Amino acid sequence: MVGRSATIRVTAVRGALRLEAIACRAGGDLSVTITGGDRPHVGCVVLARPHPSTGDPRRTSVTSSVLAVPPHREEALARPLAEKLATELGATVVVAAGVHTDRLGKRAIAGYLKLGEIVSEKLLQALGG
């Protein structure tokens, strides 16, 4: 397991598309920044917190809050990542994401979403989750 204050950096590449994630433990919680494309920025921030499900306390649910900078659409990348990490790690997770590529088509969007899944698996592996 990675130390509680260690910084972790992972990348995922698919053709010309690339995402980079930098994660840092904040006590038992986790802060992640995801960037990529031609002009990295902060377009969306998601806070995900796990808790026992109200329907079945043996199961974990996650509550998420999203702040997005219009017209950015990084929620589709940041929310699944934050919720998966929160569930798997049992920790509050913040994901800030900003990916910009000019003239981004549906195929490239799907590619970035797939890279988000890869980044989440690499982070979980690095974090021992």
Residue entry with tokens 């940041």: 78
Tell me, what's the pLDDT at 5?
Answer: 59
Pairing of strands 93-100, 29-37: parallel
- In this prediction, the residues of the chain whose per-residue pLDDT falls under 50 are 1-3
Q: What domains appear along the chain, each with residue ranges and CATH number?
A: 7-102+115-124 (3.30.230.90)
**In which order are the strands placed within the sheet that holds 29-37?**
7-14, 17-26, 29-37, 93-100, 44-52, 60-68
Query: For 61-96, how does the pLDDT look when each residue is reduced to its tens digit (9 = 90+)?
Result: 999 999 999 998 899 999 999 999 999 999 999 999
Tell me, what's the pLDDT at 102?
Answer: 87
Tell me, what's the pLDDT at 1?
Answer: 43
